[in-house]
Amino acid sequence: MGMVDSEKVRLQKHIGQYRIDIIKMLHRAGSGHPGGSLSAIEIIAYLYHHEMKHDAKNPEWADRDLFVLSKGHGVPAQYVVMAEHGYFPHEELKTLRQVDSRLQGHPSVGFLPGIEASTGSLGMGLSFATGAALAAKMDGKANRVYCLMGDGETQEGQVWEAAMTAPKFKLNNLVAMIDYNKGQIDGPTNEIMNLEPIADKWRAFNWHTIVIDGHDLDAIADALKNARSTSDKPTMIIANTIKGKGVSFMEGVIDWHGATPNDEQTKQALAELEGALS
């Protein structure tokens, strides 16, 4: 199954450019989070390009699907995709993290149309998404809700309260995803607070649980299609990813969770990314 080849090639080119834009944004800002932005870009790109109903010209469209970036520090990945879809001019990416910029360092409702939830206080996004999905059900609407979490943040107790709530109300319109890049700001997740057996835990909480390679567009497409077939429970997609994906010296290195590249490192990163794109 997966994607149509021509569509996949087009999306891969977009993703290559998104990685370049992320590095440029963070270098200019002098702060931010490259590791988790680069690891999540395939998922976010696929959602906006192929999965969700949304309209940049009408961000408050009542029938839109909602995307909640619970791991708010990864918002550069969301911003680059939103710019491509016309939510704001591409030039505005240069203002990331500046005072009075609409592109705050974490998603902030009221600053930028198309941002559904203010996140960054980790662990809260799934609760918001659960509430939004329940509201849609109560209103008899077909809206779907997508929530992307970091792996480290699923150590938060509030996540597991939401994990109990969504199946109780049979929220088959809710898809949660974990960017499972195995690293958080303090170190490897398996050392800080081991999440394994992560899939078994979500299945035990009565979620339809799928484990994929989060950089494989065909796998992402199939998982999201599979999620639409559920009738009585929410879906959890555990996406195995690589922190810093696409930049050789960042890949799998936890120090790049919240560090930004200097001039020389940026030059190297862009050379690699632009070479891969050509």
How many domains is the chain partitioned into structurally?
A: 1
Report the distance separating Cα 120 and Cα 107, nearest Å: 7
Report whether 227 contacts 219 (CB < 8 A).
no
Residues 6 or more apart from 142 whose CB is under 8 A from it? 63, 136, 173
Give residue 1's pLDDT: 83
7 is written with which tokens?
């569509």
Give residue 194's pLDDT: 97
Give residue 113's pLDDT: 95
Q: Among 276, 215, 269, 259, which residue's Cα sits nearest to residue 24? A: 269
Owner of token pair 């792996």 = 151
Rounded to a whole number, what is the distance in angstroms from the first to the last CA of the chain? Answer: 27
**Which amino acid appears at position 28 of this protein?**
R
CATH of the domain at 11: 3.40.50.970
C-alpha dihedral sign at 209, 212, 214, 219: negative
Q: How many CA atoms lie within 13 A of 159 on its CB side?
A: 22
How many residues are listed for the chain in this entry? 278
> How do strand 208-213 and strand 235-240 relate by DSSP bridges?
parallel
Residue 56's SS3 state is coil
Enumerate the β-bridge partners of residue 175: 146, 235
Q: Taking CA 89 as the corner, what is the angle to CA 86 and CA 90, rounded to the nearest 5 degrees?
A: 100
**Which amino acid appears at position 162 of this protein?**
A
Give residue 171's pLDDT: 98
Give residue 88's pLDDT: 97
The structure's pTM equals 0.97
Q: Taking CA 237 as the corner, what is the angle to CA 235 and CA 239, rounded to the nearest 5 degrees?
A: 175
Report the distance separating Cα 45 and Cα 146, nearest Å: 13
- Residue 147 phi/psi, 5° resolution? -130, 120
Give residue 29's pLDDT: 96
Give residue 278's pLDDT: 76
CB atoms within 10 A of CB 77: 29
Average pLDDT per block of 10 residues along the chain, 278 residues long = 93 98 97 97 98 98 98 98 98 95 95 96 97 98 98 98 98 98 96 97 98 98 97 97 98 95 97 92
Domain that holds residue 35: 5-277
